[in-house]
């Protein structure tokens, strides 16, 4: 199975700053079949990005994704207070679908 490693585990930032989250795969993720989710406390995950760089419906344009092969990033251009939560990457190039362990963005 494809193992996804997210870094850092915790990212300490201030509102207004740019955050860059990394997701590295143990094997090539074909066709950039990678998604990003945001999870707020006590809530279900919410799809942010699919196919590495396409924003899901209703996702603010401060969220952007890029990458291919084994290296992917999620960038939040200017952090808003509601962005200080946990983010997961997920690959769907191969079965089983696998998730990274998450990056928590916390207020510095």
Closest CA to 21 of 30, 13, 29, 32: 13
CB of 105 vs other proteins, minimal distance in Å: 15
The total of other beta-carbon atoms located within 10 Å of residue 1's CB is: 11
Which of 17, 99 has the CB closer to other proteins? 99
Binding to other proteins, residues 33-92 (CB under 8 A): 33, 35, 37, 43-47, 50, 56, 88, 90, 92
Residue of the chain from 60, 97, 107, 108 that contacts other proteins (CB under 8 A): 97
Which of 55, 62 has the CB closer to other proteins? 55
Q: For residues 67 and 65, give the distance between their C-alpha atoms in angstroms, rounded to a whole number.
A: 7
| Residues facing 86 on adjacent strands | 39, 104
CB of 92 vs other proteins, minimal distance in Å: 4
Which of 57, 81 has the CB closer to other proteins? 57
Q: State the residues that interact with other proteins by CB under 8 A.
A: 33, 35, 37, 43-47, 50, 56, 88, 90, 92, 95-102
């Amino acid at each position: 199975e494809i193992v996804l490693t997210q870094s850092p585990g915790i990212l300490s930032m201030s509102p207004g700053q740019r955050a860059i989250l990394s997701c590295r795969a143990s094997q090539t993720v074909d066709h950039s079949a990678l998604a990003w989710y945001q999870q707020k406390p006590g809530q279900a995950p919410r799809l942010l990005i699919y196919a590495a760089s396409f924003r899901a419906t209703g996702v603010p344009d401060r969220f952007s994704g890029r990458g291919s092969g084994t290296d992917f990033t999620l960038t939040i251009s200017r952090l808003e207070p509601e962005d200080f939560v946990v983010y997961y990457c997920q690959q769907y190039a191969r079965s089983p679908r696998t998730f990274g362990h998450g990056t928590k963005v916390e207020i510095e």
